[in-house]
Structure 1
Amino acid sequence: MEAIFVHALEKRQGLKVACLEEIAFINNWIDTSVLKQQAQRHQQTAYGDYLFQLAKESDDEGY
């Protein structure tokens, strides 16, 4: 779902969208606890929800 939203937004706005926390997490520059802290900072937004979901998925997969 997020990929479709990002694709539509990029196409309509002509800009690229990046989730810096996700990039840092995937590259092991930050761990799950830092990702959750960042999600907490944005807890009232869809972005915070996305970061929490990313952390949950990594917990479920044993990362």
Structure 2
Amino acid sequence: MRQRDFVTYLGSLTTPPYSETVTWTVLTTPVEVSKEQLNILRKIVDANYRECQQLCERTVRASAVKV
């Protein structure tokens, strides 16, 4: 299996009520998807209502994961 580096941090939802209950995991390199796959995702998630937030002393952890 291929390993991908990622970062993870505690955060909140990007849609109301913006609950602080999310552990975000973000790959450090992009993952390619087809137009069809992107359109399917857009049907599930129609909008991102919240602008980027400051780090506010949150801990950001980095690691690697097998995918």
Q: TM-score normalised to the size of structure 2?
A: 0.25
Q: Relative contact order (alpha carbons < 8 A, sep ≥ 6): 1 or 2 greater?
A: 2
- The structure with the largest strand share of the pair is 2
- The structure with the largest helix share of the pair is 1
Larger Rg: 1 or 2? 2
